[in-house]
Amino acid sequence: MARVTQTDLEARPAPGAVTVEAIERASRGRAEPDWLTSQRLAAWQHASALPVPDRTTEGWRRTDLSGLDLDALVGQSQNGADTTADARSVLTEGLAGLAGTIRIVDGQVVERSLTLDLAKKGVVLTSLRQALTERPELVQQHLGRLVTGDESKFVALAGALWQDGFFLYVPRGVSVEQPILSRTVSSGTVPTYFRSLIVLDQGAEATVVEDYASDEAEGESLATGAVEIVTGQASRLRYANLQEWNTQTWHFNRLKAEAGRDSRIDWLFVAVGGKVHRAEVDASLVGQGSETELVGLIFGDGSQQFDHQTLQDHVGNDTRSNLNFKAALAESASSNFQGLIRVNKTSLRTDSNLENRNLLLSDHSKAESDPRLEILNSDVVRCAHGATVGPLDPEIIFYIETRGVPGDEARRMVVEAFFEEVLKKIPVEAIRTSVWRTVQRKLGRDIGPNDGPRGADAWQDG
């Protein structure tokens, strides 16, 4: 890592009221190791130097950030508000049958639990700050290695200013049968900087759900962060990332995974909240025989914007990947999807597919899709991509109506069927019900306290 000097940092304007002195002082006050302090300062250099993206920035031309006042959002203060008690009471409802949980409120870990059996087997589920003490070698080896902080101003901000985060380590040969849940909650009064590190050793297996949620707030707020995933040989990770922020939140997330030999990572993405949501997903298939599946559900209404940038990066031989993202957009909501399958020069016998399906529920909604292939050698089993954008099929609606179903209910049924496959893959019942209820509300349906998704099963093997 390049050395960052005081002069370098002071020569550029800083977002909000944050200063380099405050970052270094806070890091030293938490007794963080020198390498982490240096990493924070390097990230702050990027955050200070990089501009806020606009329509001329590569990869951002379809995302409208003209209403973003980043300085004001970074400079928000909590003014003494205490949301911990309320967050705990909400988060404990309906979450039985979990192997472990972590709850993060406004950047602070307020509660964590892990079954005694898994703790005895060497599983480490803890806050990222605590992991610096319990497993310092793993944190130093992997934190900031995949997501370096130079990707964008928002990612760099999180790299410099995160307070705490989610850490999971599953040792060699250990199988975590029940899901592990990390819930990040924002009061909407302070910016949320989240950070996650997941490491699975050889032959390990786990299911992880990360859920981001907040109540409706009076003003806008910022949530930005990064997720890094490393899987060892022959390991299996099922990872779900669920975004349920309120509609005043600007959300930016960078996720990158490095898959080892013969390992498999199944991704599930659900995005239903936020004012502007942008997720950059990089699935790097490094080990021979590694594979991944990426499934996404996006449902927008109002003036919500959703932006997904995905990369299926085939590096090792005999790697396989499949991506299927579905979006439904009502009112004036918009979605931008840009997906790339890259087959590197040394990656032989690649099998890969990419699909993006968009359903427009109003004349004012909009979806843009740009699936691409970058094939750098000729030894390919399959590389395919496709995208569709269109309204509800009127013939299907008419067919349902002829069976005595009212028009509004017929449209709801079609959207439910469009999303059913993805909803079934959410492995925590309480979270699955929460997402289903949000979908129903966006469809304009009144739901009772006991209503829930029909026919929802646990995560299915792909």
In a domain, 3, yes or no: no
| Residue ending a domain, choose from 356, 371, 398 | 398
Hunting for tokens 């918009």 — which residue is that? 334
In a domain, 19, yes or no: no
Residues 158 and 247 in one domain: yes
| Domain assignment of residue 349, given as a range | 83-398
At residue 77, the pLDDT reads 62
Residues 386 and 434 in one domain: no
CA atoms within 13 A on the CB side of 281: 29
In a domain, 339, yes or no: yes
At residue 10, the pLDDT reads 38
Residues 202 and 273 in one domain: yes
Residues 145 and 288 in one domain: yes
Strands (E), 215-304: 221-231, 236-244, 249-259, 264-271, 276-285, 291-300
Residues 407 and 378 in one domain: no
In a domain, 77, yes or no: no
Residues 342 and 267 in one domain: yes
Q: For the chain, list residues with pLDDT below 70.
A: 1-17, 77-96, 446-462
| Residue ending a domain, choose from 372, 398, 424 | 398
Go through 117-139 and write b for each residue having 16 or more CB atoms within 10 A of its CB, e for each that does not.
ebeeeebbbbbbbebbeebeebb
In a domain, 28, yes or no: no
Residues 111 and 226 in one domain: yes
- What backbone phi and psi angles, to 5 degrees, belong to 32? -75, 150
In a domain, 163, yes or no: yes
Give the SS3 label for residue 47. helix
In a domain, 15, yes or no: no
**C-alpha distances in angstroms, 377 versus 151, 322, 381?**
27, 19, 11
For the chain, how many structural domains are there in total?
A: 2
Contact partners, residue 402, CB within 8 Å, separation at least 6: none
Q: Which two tokens stand for residue 205?
A: 């297996």
In a domain, 213, yes or no: yes
Residues 425 and 379 in one domain: no
DSSP 128-193: HHHHHHHSHHHHHHHTTTSS-S-S-HHHHHHHHH----EEEEE-TT-B--S-EEEEEEE-SSS-EE
Residues 204 and 246 in one domain: yes
Residues 95 and 160 in one domain: yes
Residues 125 and 210 in one domain: yes
pLDDT digits (tens, 9 = 90+) for 297-325: 999 999 999 999 999 999 999 999 999 99
At residue 176, the pLDDT reads 97
pLDDT digits (tens, 9 = 90+) for 375-394: 999 999 999 999 999 998 88
Alpha carbons 241 and 255: distance in angstroms, whole number: 10
